[in-house]
Structure 1
Amino acid sequence: MTRPEARRFITALAEANPNAESELTFTSPFGLLVAVVLSAQATDKSVNKVTPGLFHEAPTPAAMVALGEDGIARHIRTIGLWRAKARNVFKLCQQLLEKHDGEVPADRKSLEALAGVGRKTASVVMNVAFGDDAMAVDTHIFRIGNRTGLAPGKNVRQVEEGLVERIPPDMLRPAHHWLILHGRYVCKARSPECWHCAGYEPCRYPEKKARRTLHAPEATLAETTG
């Protein structure tokens, strides 16, 4: 997409979902950090089911270390990779206490030095907790960047750089939420629902017209029945 097309696309998503925000449940930067680490290869819904009990017992890094790796694991057994995640959460809490006085750092270098924290997780924390314009690229945003022509790239870093370049600066921070929710509920991996896509016009997905035509009766019925 050109920059004007990118603005039209992002503006359309914003108008369709003006109050978009993270679907993870958290009450502090620490809670967000742990939730995002737990969400790797797991759904936000599955994480939201385990974090209330976990944070009730261990609401701070010190309490989490006192709970121990086995205690953390006891709360998160229902999510994917729970053993490795329990180990990472325990270790990152130790690091927060040892290096940051128990506080979550706001800069990328410090965040990425924590156990279980990569570039995407750091970007989410910077964006959501600290108001940074960081663009976190997950599987949904990577797919949208390539499928729509918004920011094509062979890897997540290329897509991230393309998004930062094309999305207007004043829209960059909230665009993370607009894009991830659009990918989660409309521009799906296997069955993109082009027939009710807010960003249909500037989108460059080659199959969008065929998918909209294929589902035209369904779309019309949905509109008439509410």
Structure 2
Amino acid sequence: MTLKNLRPVTRQSTEAIVIDNLRAFILSGEVAAGGRLTEAAMSEQLGVSRATLRMALHRLAGEGLIEQIPYTGWQVAQLSQQDIWEIWTLRGALESLASRLAVSRDDPQVFAAVEEAYAELESACARGNMRAISAADFALHQVIIDSADHARLAAQYRVVEQQVRMFISTSNLHVATGPDDIIAQHAPLIAAFRARDAQAAADAAWWHDETEGQRLIAWLAQSAARGAEQT
């Protein structure tokens, strides 16, 4: 009997639990970009003190998920077109390199992990639950990052991890035309992994991030134009 895959139980502090709950709430899209976050209501709902809540809010602000507005309070971060460009280009560079390195390792465990993560995305898309879809979407990309076996690359990815998750959630909610579209976005990348073609995998990863970045920028521009017409 081997116990290497049996993870020990870890105890989380109240602050860590609050951070995790708030992060999941923000990334779910239940509050629109720019939406206000009221400390009193959130602390009551979570059953924690305002001091504990503020600690969590400052952590999420550091991750780029929310913003503190002087004399006003907190709001969900609003990604500008420049923000989207910066996220997708940085994400694309990291994921492209990770894809090349992961395929080049020619390790059966790597390909099995990618296939498993892709199957989870397909399953989530079949169920049609958008929160599960976005979680599985990010998990697939995280598996590829981890499969590169490159500690410094992984560390750089963690710096923008939550902003990438927000990017994915926003794109899937507002830009993708449905679950089939989300699967199609990843098809070239998965095909490259199955072909064991490192260059094709790197190109597909960059193409995926660039395409979705441009679509999201176009959606933001259209939303801004509609807002201007209504004022």
With the shorter chain as reference, the TM-score category is: under 0.3
Q: Which has the higher strand share?
A: 2
Structure 2 length-normalised TM: 0.27
Q: Which has the higher helix share?
A: 2
